[in-house]
Structure 1
Amino acid sequence: MEARKVQKNDFTNLLELEEHIYPLVDVDTPNVYRNLFPYDEIPKIAFNDRIVPHNMQNEIWITDTTFRDGQQSRTPYTTEQIVKIYDYLHRLGGPKGIIRQSEFFLYSKKDRDAVYKCLEKGYKFPEITSWIRASKKDFELVKEIGLKETGILVSCSDYHIFYKMKMTRKQALTHYLSVIRECLETGISPRCHFEDITRADIFGFVIPFCVELMKLMNEYQIPIKIRACDTMGYGVNFAGAVIPRSVQGIIYGLIKHAGVPSELIEWHGHNDFYKAVSNSTTAWLYGACGVNCSMFGIGERTGNTPLEAMVFEYAQLKGTLDGMDTTVITELVEYYQKEIGYKLPSRTPFAGSSFNVTRAGIHADGLLKNEEIYNIFDTEKFLNRPPLVAVSKTSGLAGIAHWINNYYHLDEERQVTKDSELVAIVKEWVDKEYEDGRITVITDNELVCVVTDSCKKLGFIL
């Protein structure tokens, strides 16, 4: 066997052995990694302690799937709602366009109307991209509308290739390449959605497939993106975990072994095992420039990576928001609740009604003295959401006054004090609740009712 050559890596300036060539490994029976995914047991996380280096790129960004994956698990948005949310995403992403793209269905007239109305906005970011069936007719539709890129489903695990498509790996590869070539022939840039990559044979199918895609990209001189889809949420970010579950290993393999540029790699996560956010951040850290998210994580089953979460992950990694307007997140919460009728769970980070509400008595005391003690950051500055103290039997007049002032966003001239008649009435009601045996904190809805009734009796409006 001929020895591999030693050559210099211009990125690390280290001598390395020449890369292995990874040919397609066609198999007669599917490899479904039954040792990792036994199905009648909980999936297993195995380790081989193979470590890959951090490789975060200078530019990283967010892409949006609110109107695609986000619509697969709920009542479809109206055209007007899509346009309004798109406006919010544009503002949230800021002048640098950190929210780089947003993908749209093109199947129905309603979908296409939304695309046309969003295109009329003339925004550079988020760029509008599409998701279509892999057919010549749909490629022409993308071109006719004036979009530059479209998503194409290329399922890559043997679960899908053998059981859903009833093909072999070679047949699937041949089929996918012919479809992608058709797309390139129309001048459209394909975004290949590698469905179920965390159960796929990375070296036997994924990398050989990506190598062929890079050849097509060079031939047509049109970018081909790879979206690594953790369709079932099996990805893990633990150092030394084995592929195909290792996020680091997948991203490293795409870059190092398949030669896919970082700017053409996106991670698309699902939250089945509560790892969507940490896995997306890990994809950034190890070389993917894009992470694909949906607003509030709304998506298939347990949902996608929440877009608002990655806004704050970006800021923590980069040390700056780079112009993103995070107050838009709160506006979106209100829009979803009032106009769409979608209410977020109260403890949803950054967005739920109770995410920065302190309930424990001793915590409330600390928060009243200095909000930094129990608030994650200046939530009033970044989200227009000042920290709140939940009212209980230990809140006292000062605690109730604090709740009223913050909940109703009262400016300094209109704020109530502990000597206010309104506060005294509310305190009397609270005391009666606990005298009657109550042991839980008072909810915001209860307080709003009491405050509203009390204001009517006193003849003024907050």
Structure 2
Amino acid sequence: MRSSKSTQRCRTGGRITVAKKKETKREIHFTDVTLRDGEQAVGVIFTRREKAQIATFLAFIGVTTVEAGFPALGPEEKDCVRAVMDADIRVRRNGKVGDPLEVYAFARARREDVIDAAECGVHGVVLSIAASDIQIERRFQRSREWVLEQVREAADEAVSRGLAFTLCAEDAARADLSFLGEFFRLGESLGARMVRYSDSLGTDGPFTTYSRVKHLAGQLSVPIEMHALNDFGMATGNVLAGIRAGAESVAASIGGLGERAGNSPLEEVVMALKYLHGADLPIDTTRFREVAEYVAGASRRAIPIWKAIIGTNVFAHESGIHADGILKNPENYEAFRPEAVGLERQMVIGKHSGSKVLIHKFADEFGVEMDGETASQVLERVRATAVELKRPLFDKELMLLYGEVTGKVKDWEHEPW
């Protein structure tokens, strides 16, 4: 476990206890970046009202810190960030209203950006600048020394304006590890609340993430925050590896919304920590689907039905083997119950269904007891029809096929199927 300094620098309301085998419990902080990094996804724009509403939803489920926007973009963005501050949002934990939501703004490591953020009245600022040589030399045409000087000036401005700050190393995964350590130690000496390891291109893998973060954690007293992009589909895995290596905070977004392939999804990280690592989390996961639906509507980005944790297909069962297993005990094919994330179980009838689930569906949903022979005849027609239509069947279609087999078509003419 890291020194007590890290505990002092992280506000109690924003931490989550993680229990790992044979280790002392640690506490993990979450910063939601949906309002800033999420809005940087191509074509996504949140209105003032939407930003305030999303922040309210996040606080309601127990998230304690949000990155509300990038004030240096201009007056409209400042107005949106102020809207989040003006909403006077408080965090809800275990059914009780608690501390005010911590609102941070994003800023490049420039005095002007810090001033823009301060004008919005935020609690803190994320100071961000490239730490990899490829970006320092090709993007800025500058040196490492120039980067460190930019950090000093921006941090000085933040401190002088009473702003807490997180120092973010952009493209940390491709940065020289010794320079990255120097970069973060400078941030610590200047009073950073924590330092952010940002895998800006998603080029890290869990093994390299673990190794690099472990190395850095041994040099620092301030918490390390993981911010993983998903270009190679490993964002959640990289975040979990970072936490195992000693990171104490996660910057994530609802649904993984963000630039290019997006970020580590908040709901994935939380559920993985809770169900795979036994973490004690004061996050109301039962509202994940509800929050995700609002973000999807505001961003005009539909939630894929196959999306991990919050996609409707997570609890949709068609295959006869799987459906039979679910009927006997949901734990056979469900890692957690659908209610845990605000979803419902669906027993779908189609090409791959078996007779047992068909009999169950008719009895449970339609109040019709069907013997094995009838079920086999109906199932034969179900599979043929599903192949022809290239999809599972609707309830009304199932009833019609049942009627064709049994001759009881008229019994269903006035039912609401």
Scaled by the length of structure 2, the TM-score of the pair is 0.78
Which residue matches 1:139? 114
Which residue matches 2:173? 198
Gaps of 5+ in 1: 1-8, 12-53, 218-222, 239-245, 406-411
Please say if 1:216 is aligned against 2:175. no
Whole-angstrom distance in 2 between the partners of 1:224 and 1:116: 22
Which residue matches 1:447? 394
Alignment of 1:219-258 (within 5 A): 223-238=192-207, 246-257=208-219
Task: Call closer, same or farther: CA 1:254–1:338 in 2, change over 3 Å.
Answer: closer
Residue 79 of structure 2: which of 107, 113, 130 is its match?
Answer: 113
Whole-angstrom distance in 2 between the partners of 1:66 and 1:416: 42
Task: Call closer, same or farther: CA 1:393–1:132 in 2, change over 3 Å.
Answer: closer
Deviation, structure 1 residue 266: 0.5
Deviation, structure 1 residue 370: 2.5
Which residue matches 1:130? 105
CA contact (8 A) 1:390 1:442 kept: no
What is the letter of the counterpart of residue 188 of structure 1? L
CA contact (8 A) 2:382 2:398 kept: no
Q: 1:296 is paired with a residue of what secondary structure?
A: helix
What is the letter of the counterpart of residue 447 of structure 1? F
Which residue matches 2:367? 417
Please say if 1:102 is aligned against 2:67. yes
Gaps of 5+ in 2: 4-21, 91-98, 401-408
CA contact (8 A) 1:398 1:417 kept: no
Deviation, structure 1 residue 152: 1.8
Whole-angstrom distance in 2 between the partners of 1:57 and 1:321: 10
CA contact (8 A) 2:362 2:368 kept: no
Deviation, structure 1 residue 396: 6.7
Q: 1:375 is paired with a residue of what secondary structure?
A: coil
Whole-angstrom distance in 1 between the partners of 2:397 and 2:76: 44
Whole-angstrom distance in 1 between the partners of 2:142 and 2:260: 27
**1:154-200 superposed Cα distances (whole Å, 9 cap, x missing partner):** 20000111111001222332233223223322222232210111111
CA contact (8 A) 2:202 2:235 kept: yes
Which residue matches 2:262? 303
Deviation, structure 1 residue 305: 0.4
What is the letter of the counterpart of residue 313 of structure 2? S
Deviation, structure 1 residue 390: 2.3
What is the letter of the counterpart of residue 233 of structure 1? G
Please say if 1:69 is aligned against 2:37. yes
What is the letter of the counterpart of residue 172 of structure 1? V
**1:239-261 superposed Cα distances (whole Å, 9 cap, x missing partner):** xxxxxxx222332333323x342
Alignment of 1:150-299 (within 5 A): 150-203=125-178, 205-217=179-191, 223-238=192-207, 246-257=208-219, 259-262=220-223, 265-299=224-258
Scaled by the length of structure 1, the TM-score of the pair is 0.71
Task: Looking at secondary structure, tell me which structure has more helix per residue.
Answer: 2
Out of 62-71 and 388-397, give the one that drifted further.
388-397
Whole-angstrom distance in 2 between the partners of 1:111 and 1:68: 10
Q: 1:344 is paired with a residue of what secondary structure?
A: coil
Whole-angstrom distance in 2 between the partners of 1:139 and 1:159: 25
Task: Call closer, same or farther: CA 1:213–1:55 in 2, change over 3 Å.
Answer: farther
Deviation, structure 1 residue 365: 2.0
Whole-angstrom distance in 2 between the partners of 1:288 and 1:437: 49
Whole-angstrom distance in 1 between the partners of 2:252 and 2:283: 16
Q: 1:62 is paired with a residue of what secondary structure?
A: strand
Deviation, structure 1 residue 292: 0.8
CA contact (8 A) 1:56 1:286 kept: no
Which residue matches 2:16? none
Out of 359-368 and 396-405, give the one that drifted further.
396-405
